[in-house]
Amino acid sequence: MRYLLLSLVASAVSLHPPCGVSVIKPDLAGMGIVQRGGAITNCIKSVEHAWPWTAGVCENDWFGTCNFRCVATVIGERWALTTASCISGDLKNWRVRAGMFHENKKESGEQRLEVKAVYQHPSYAPSTKLDNILLIETKDEFKFDDYVQPICLPEEDDDVLSDNLKGWVTGWGYQKQKGDINKSMEQALIDMDSDESEFCAGEGDKTLCGYDEGVPLMQQSPNGTWFQHGSGAMIDGECRLPAIFSKISYFCPWIFTTTNEDVHCIKRIKPFLFTQQVAMPITLTSSDDKSFSVDREVIKHAGTIETLISTMGLEDSEESSMPIPLPNVTGPVLELVIEWLKHHKEDPVKEEKEDYGERRSDDDKPQHVLFDILLAANYLDIKGLLQTCCKTVANMIKGKSPEEIRKHFNIKNDFTPEEEEQIRKENACGLSNVRPNLSNGIQINATGNAITGAQEATAFSWPWQGIVCLVDWFGDCDWKCSATIVGERWAITTASCVTGKKVSDLKIRTGVFHPYSNEKQELRVHVQAVYTHPSFQPNGVTKQNNIAIIETKEAFTFGDYVQPICLPDDDADVLTDGKKAWLTGWGYPKKGGSVEHTLQQAQIPIDNNEVCEITWSRTIFDSEICAGDGSKTTCNNDEGDPLMVQSPSGKWYMHGNSAMSDPDCKLPGIFSKITYYCPWINALTGGDVSCIKRQ
């Protein structure tokens, strides 16, 4: 079987540049040498809205006037960058003025956004202004248009911030401590001298001055994209000494973490993000090479972090090729990929072209259309990306045809809608955009975590992990147990967790890492119904069949933080004595303890049932799994935690659901075996959730 991967029209990459591109081009000819002593000394007036990322920070007074305080730069949909010394006091009085050119008036293109939160660098020293940098999170999103755009942040700048090289600055600050703020934005080109976390820029005739704090120091890359390399941190009040800037590349990890990965420096690699590409020409032709012919440029090679490490460079095709820079966003790019993904065929390949069906011409004569066969060099790597990021892409890479393509082609071996739906279910599970750290769970934490012997998981690396909570009289949703997302409206937990609870008071929290806080990515879904296993006995000693299925009112929103896990239809070669599995949860280690503050994970051994029976002094049934030992096992309130194994293809499968734990956290945990309950799960969910073969 061969796969055709025709992805992404090359020219389309530049349609929606995500950062560092201004619709209105700045005038760089003046070089800031006009001797008129502006705020940025010896600067020139900039072209209106030519620097769409430069914004003002202002504070409302008693009269409702928003007084200019410093400069900020827009770096994301809800994020701006400025100095820690700029903002203080009540945040409700502060605003970010984006699309601003004249300081003394509000123009049609200006956006004033309220401040939701500010994040001062933890090492900021007010006396020395060291690490004088701050992130502003706005309540609403910036609307990117001709007047407002984000600037790019560089991960590396060794070849840029060298002595005697120059950078551009923009702002409104005033020349002397008691001077007036400039009425319009100004710009200047200044010299640079770099250090580790900060660098100097400017000289006696061109430097920063009062209220120029937060101004961006920028350079333009060869392809025209603008990068912010510095943020004005310390400025001479007399406007004579070079200014000191916070070096952006030094603070990249902090920015990346603080913004919850919303903002990252350009060369930072996210899991499953395309990192390198090569374009090559192809021709789509009909079988007679006359009646239908279209030239296209497509991506020959698209690498993930694994291939970047292994190849350390681009792979050239036999044809002439050219590198294509990829924007640091995935959504719009993947939408473009969809159009150029075609279908696999089991027919023999002839002359390196393959027949993909018929196209009807105007005279209604069938014309067979053939496409050049292209297969990404790292197809196995990007297969996971395609399945994770876009269902349509995942469907098409498996050989399915969306309705739009059906209008033009009659695919002889196309799937029926029912077959397409089944394939979609089988392939849209068990993948995480954030990869879990599988090295830290094998160490034993001497202090005893919730799952004893566990360590903190990487945030959002287990996106199927949810929480069942119970709404109290005050409207708070109190943690009860774990739940595992297995479908668009379905989750699995323990029967003992939900028995006796009023369904209308139950909710499922998804996208959770810190259970004690309501994070911005968290969603709470109402429960429609709860189905406990019919053989479960609430008062039974063994807690056999301690499993329940939760149906939600609303569908889960799958994305970076929420994904379903796969359920296996067989586990004979997986759940054998001595094999390892992964366990995640928040439960607490001792009676009267508290739930862990972050999601925990541990790798635990699968135990022999006969040995486990002796340990527990009870029968281990065919519907159960015994896993864990004295150093790593489940504990109090670990009910509903998933027991997981990763398949060779990288997908995660839930093999067990924590059903019974030792209160003293010493004995192995007992889990409900998922494969045993597959028929019940499939029937109860009406086929929405089914167990599949491990891939």
Cα-based distances in Å from 326 to 14, 74, 332 = 9, 21, 11
Best CA proximity match to 161, nearest among 246, 241, 73: 246
DSSP annotation of 379: H
Please identify, among 232, 249, 266, the residue that sits at the C-terminal boundary of a domain: 249
Q: How many helices (H) and strands (E) does the chain have?
A: 10, 31
Q: Which residues of 445-463 are buried (b: 16+ CB within 10 A; e: fewer)?
A: beebbbbbbbbbbbbbbbb
- Kindly report, residue by residue over 87-120, the tens digit of the pLDDT: 888 889 999 999 988 877 778 889 999 999 999 8
Closest listed residue to residue 40, CA positions, set 203, 225, 191, 187: 187
Angle at 594 between CA 590 and CA 596, to 5 degrees: 100
For residues 295 and 389, state if they share a domain. yes
Pairing of strands 455-456, 322-323: unpaired
Same domain for 130 and 157, yes or no, is no
Convert the pLDDT of each residue in 149-192 to its tens digit.
999 898 877 666 665 577 888 888 654 444 455 567 788 887 76
pLDDT at 673: 95
Task: State the Cα–Cα distance between residues 451 and 448, nearest whole angstrom.
Answer: 8
By three-state DSSP, how is residue 677 classified? helix
Are 385 and 403 spatial neighbours (Cβ–Cβ below 8 Å)?
no
3-class SS of residue 686? coil
- Say what the pLDDT of residue 278 is: 41
Residue 285 shares a structural domain with residue 389: yes
pLDDT, residue 469, reads 92
pLDDT of res. 63: 84
Same domain, residue pair 302 and 373: yes
In a domain, 134, yes or no: yes
Residue with tokens 């309705």: 403
Structure tokens that stand for 438 in this block = 């599988």
Q: What is the pLDDT of residue 364?
A: 44
Task: Say which CATH number the domain at 245 has.
Answer: 2.40.10.10
Count of positions (residues) in the chain: 695
Q: Which residue has the tokens 């603080």?
A: 258
Q: Are residues 286 and 388 in the same domain?
A: yes
List, for residues 219-230, the tens digit of each pLDDT value: 888 767 889 998
How far is the C-alpha of 322 from the C-alpha of 307, rounded, in Å? 18
Is position 570 within any domain? Answer: no
Q: Are both 288 and 381 inside the same structural domain?
A: yes
Residues in the chain predicted with pLDDT less than 70, given as ranges, are: 1-18, 30-43, 158-164, 173-183, 192-211, 223, 235-240, 267-427, 439-454, 587-596, 630-638
Q: State the residue for tokens 């010299």.
A: 191
Q: Give the chain's domain count.
A: 4
Residue 376 lies in a domain: yes
Determine, yes or no, domain membership for 231: yes
Residue 2 lies in a domain: no
Does some domain include residue 592?
no
Contacts of 463 (CB under 8 A, 6+ apart): 432, 433, 434, 485, 511, 560, 561, 562, 563
β-bridge partners, 355:
370
Nearest to 692 by CA among 675, 677, 676, 671: 675
Asked if 483 and 492 count as a contact pair (C-beta separation under 8 A), the reply is yes
Beta bridge partners of 587: none
CA dist., res. 15 & res. 277, Å (int):
17
Distance CA 248, CA 150 (A): 15
Residues 223, 224, 227: CA angle, nearest 5 degrees: 105
- Report the chain's terminal Cα–Cα distance, integer Å: 17
- Let me know whether 289 and 386 are in one domain: yes
Domain boundary among 518, 552, 586: 552
Q: Residue 342 falls within a domain, yes or no?
A: yes
CB atoms within 10 A of CB 383: 21
pLDDT tens for 637-653 read 568 999 999 887 778 99
CATH of the domain at 387: 3.30.710.10
Q: Are residues 117 and 182 in the same domain?
A: no
C-beta neighbour count of 685 within 10 angstroms: 17
**Inter-residue contact 459 to 257 (CB < 8 Å):** no
Single pTM value for the model: 0.44
Question: Are 102 and 207 within one domain?
Answer: no
Is residue 30 assigned to a domain? no
- What the block records as the tokens of 673 is 């075996």
Report the run of H or E that residue 482 belongs to, with start and end: strand 477-487
Pair 332, 326: CB distance under 8 Å: no
Domain match, 111 and 180 both: no
- Cα–Cα–Cα angle for 116, 117, 123, nearest 5°? 165
Distance (Å, whole) CA 304 – CA 271: 7
State which of 552, 579, 602 marks the end of a domain: 552
What pLDDT sits at residue 650?
Answer: 79
Same domain, 130 and 158: no
Domain that holds residue 519: 462-552
Do 292 and 387 lie in one domain? The reply is: yes
Rounded Cα distance between 392 and 421, Å, is: 11
Interior CA angle at 363 toward 361 and 366, to 5°? 50
